[in-house]
Amino acid sequence: MHSFNPQNFEAALAAARHSFDHGGVPVGAALERGGRLLAVGHNQRVQAGDPTAHGEISCLRAAGRQASYKDTVLYTTLVPCAMCAGSIIQFGIPTVVVGEAASFPGELDLLRERGIQVVNLQDQRCMGLMQRFQQTRPALWAEDIGR
């Protein structure tokens, strides 16, 4: 298992809060290599009008081209959906640190079946932020997850 830097998870959480504060879906993500932060992104579906701009995808876009992702860790405040899990699998990101899985089941099983190390922090701050979002903006949440 890769070791991970808690400060990089905090960057993902800050990005999620930023998205919420600006009317978007509160999911943030950060990519690191060797403990060094490469990129941060947040869900920008609302802000950019882009249905594919989930937090993990925005983070990968911010990181730009990488020759390999085999030595990276992706932090995300919420379990990745099918689209984001597919990107993680496609690029061979070996470790995903998830803030929480209580608010959305996502694709934990798929990631694990494909050999990806998943660490679930069960972070109360992530849970609280997502629960607040789901309660105050239920239509936007349903739109984000395709319901």
Question: Mean pLDDT, to the nearest integer, of 48-70?
Answer: 96
Provide the β-strand partners of residue 97: 75, 119
Q: What is the mean pLDDT of residues 83-107?
A: 96
Is 113 designated active site?
A: no
* Amino acid 2: pLDDT: 61
CATH class of 7-145: alpha beta
The yes-or-no verdict on residue 3 having pLDDT over 80 is no
Strand order through the sheet with 28-33 = 36-42, 28-33, 72-76, 95-98, 117-120
Given a cut of 80, whether residue 116 has pLDDT beyond it is: yes
Res 42: pLDDT: 98
pLDDT band at 143 (very low <50, low <70, confident <90, very high): confident
The overall average pLDDT reported for the chain is 95
Beta strands in 19-135 (DSSP E): 28-33, 36-42, 72-76, 95-98, 117-120
Q: Is the pLDDT of residue 35 over 70?
A: yes
Question: How confident is the model at residue 106, as a pLDDT?
Answer: 94
The active-site residue, picked from 32, 56, 100, 107, is 56
Domain-wise residue ranges, the chain? 7-145
